[in-house]
Amino acid sequence: MNRLLSSLSKPNGKSFFCSYCLHRCSSQAILDDHLSYCRTHKPQIGEMPTAIYLSFEKFHFQLLVPYVIYADFESIITPNTQQVNAISLHKSCNYCYVVIGPDG
Ligand SMILES: [Zn+2]
């Protein structure tokens, strides 16, 4: 378990993970305390929907917003020569946005 979650460990210390919920603890004592109440919960069981297609049906839960902004940015992609971990750079060259208010 520790090897699987090693990327979440602190670089200068060992981390202890709960095998029930994957919570990270900084010491074995804290993990033991955590396990005392974490074991009392049932494991989570994910349920996949039975319907093939899902659609939003509860439109009455939607909130009205006074304004909607649609924006689009264009960029010129150039090969990277400046940063180490980027393949290419995106230099913005144009943008456009539309604000739609309550009157349309
Ligand atoms: Zn736990």
Q: pLDDT tens digits, residue range 10-45? A: 666 788 888 888 888 888 999 999 999 998 988 777
Measured in angstroms, how far is the CA atom of residue 22 from the centroid of ligand 1? 6
Measured in angstroms, how far is the CA atom of residue 9 from the centroid of ligand 1? 16
**Separation between Cα atoms, residue 35 and residue 46, nearest integer Å:** 22
**Separation between Cα atoms, residue 59 and residue 63, nearest integer Å:** 9
Q: What does each C-alpha distance from 41 to 20, 27, 32, 44, 45 come to in angstroms? A: 9, 22, 15, 9, 12
- 88-98 as b/e: b if 16+ CB within 10 A: eeeeeeeeeee
Measured in angstroms, how far is the CA atom of residue 21 from the centroid of ligand 1? 4
- CB-proximal residues (5 Å) to ion ligand 1: 18, 20-21, 23, 38
Q: What pLDDT was estimated at residue 95? A: 95
Measured in angstroms, how far is the CA atom of residue 35 from the centroid of ligand 1? 6
pTM of the model: 0.40
pLDDT in tens, 37-94: 998 988 777 888 888 998 999 999 998 889 999 999 999 998 888 877 888 888 899 9
